[in-house]
Amino acid sequence: MEKAKISVIQLFAMMFIFEMGTALVISYGIGAKKDTWLAILLGMCSGVVLFFIYYSLFRQYPNLSLTGYARKIFGKYVGWIIGLLYVVFFMYAAARTLRDFGDLMLTSTMSKTPLLAIHILFVLVMCYVLYLGIEVLARTAEVFIVIVFLFGVVGNLLVLISGNIDFHNLQPFLENGWKPILTTVFPSTTFLPFGEMLIFTFLLPYLNRPELAKKVWLSALISGGLILSYTTSLDIAVLGIEEVERSTFPLLSTIGKVNLFDFIQRMDAIVVFTFLITVFFKVSIFFYGAIIGIVDLFKLKHPQPIILPMGVIILFLSMAIASDFAEHIEEGLKLAAYYISIPFLVIIPLIMLIVVMIRNHFRKKTKDEKSRSESI
């Protein structure tokens, strides 16, 4: 790992922007219909449970990344294979997020621009920032979280003043019962984005005050979950549940309805710029985790030489992942949510924690027996 340090504020900024990611703009958790806001809050609670699994592993190995302590827990060879699988998983997640961004740009502002051209420009900028190091990315997040906040305030004020909000669109509560809510919570709103924050186990060793890691992570997770719940409620209140279900990017449609005095309108740029910022950091953090994993697994001295080749791989994956956006979404809801996210975000971390706890129990038992025998 590179010799770098990031502050508490910088880590919070990266975590918060990462959480916003694609979830802010897409039809996030819409399977719960009008109770989507509740499904997101319950997903956030599930994310807190996952956090304690990830944080417990970090406490056991505070100076190692996930690929490092996978080898400590599972052994040299099995741990190495698991670490490599995580690298592939992070690159796949980066490619999926990049594809979300490219399709939004085609839908909103650049309909005649080739998707490949958008992705190439994005990957080149991302590779340049990561070439400069994690401290540069962290300082950039510290600046851009202010911009995201300002965009959010302006966008909300415009929607509120425009008078398009109808809270009756959110009623009745629990119209379809608990089943659609619970099936949406697991896996949809739990893993995206709360479970994906597993990637920050690669960044926690850089924190200049590691004793505050727990507070920072929980603060970012809860504040991000509350804002995502509010945003989805706003989309439904403005558009109605039927239009939100049909819309690919509901937030874009919500802000598009703003029309003040036939002068202030077409404010889609606010959503596009916000999405550009949040996706850039989300893809970059996934990509950085994959880079650190490769450097650790193959014992490389410097990460810089592999940044561009790995960026090209992500570029290829983002184009090959699906033939169109509908297929991309279907793959995310079925294949990625169940067969990829559950093993990597729940099963393997939980097994690692159980193995560590069993080892610690037997070590403590052996130590107590040894001290007892010495005292006799």
Task: Give the separation between CA 157 and CA 148, rounded to whole angstroms.
Answer: 14
Domain span holding position 49: 8-367
374 falls within a domain: no
372 falls within a domain: no
Task: Give the separation between CA 255 and CA 189, rounded to whole angstroms.
Answer: 23
For residue 328, pLDDT beyond 80: no
Number of domains within the chain: 1
Give the model's pLDDT for residue 111. Answer: 81
In this prediction, residues 100-120 reach a mean pLDDT of 86
Give the model's pLDDT for residue 129. Answer: 94
For residue 164, pLDDT beyond 90: no
**59, 117, 108, 65: which is closest to 86 by C-alpha?**
65
63 falls within a domain: yes
For residue 101, pLDDT beyond 90: no
R_g over Cα of the chain: 22
Confidence of residue 2 (pLDDT cuts 50, 70, 90): low
pTM listed for this prediction: 0.93
Query: Is 134 within 8 Å of 206 (Cβ atoms)?
Result: yes
Task: Round the average pLDDT of the chain to a whole number and report it.
Answer: 88
For residue 341, pLDDT beyond 90: no
119 falls within a domain: yes
Confidence of residue 375 (pLDDT cuts 50, 70, 90): low
Give the model's pLDDT for residue 295. Answer: 94
**pLDDT tens, 14-65?**
999 999 988 888 777 888 888 999 999 999 999 999 999 999 999 999 888 8
202 falls within a domain: yes
Task: Give the separation between CA 35 and CA 177, rounded to whole angstroms.
Answer: 9
Confidence of residue 71 (pLDDT cuts 50, 70, 90): very high
Task: Give the separation between CA 49 and CA 54, rounded to whole angstroms.
Answer: 9
Top-ranked range on mean pLDDT: pick from 168-177, 321-330, 332-341? 168-177
Give the model's pLDDT for residue 26. Answer: 79
In this prediction, residues 233-250 reach a mean pLDDT of 88
321 falls within a domain: yes
**pLDDT tens, 292-322?**
999 999 999 888 999 999 999 999 999 988 7
3 falls within a domain: no
Give the model's pLDDT for residue 245. Answer: 85
Q: Say which CATH number the domain at 56 has.
A: 1.10.4160.10
**pLDDT tens, 115-133?**
899 999 999 999 999 999 9
Query: Is 338 within 8 Å of 191 (Cβ atoms)?
Result: no
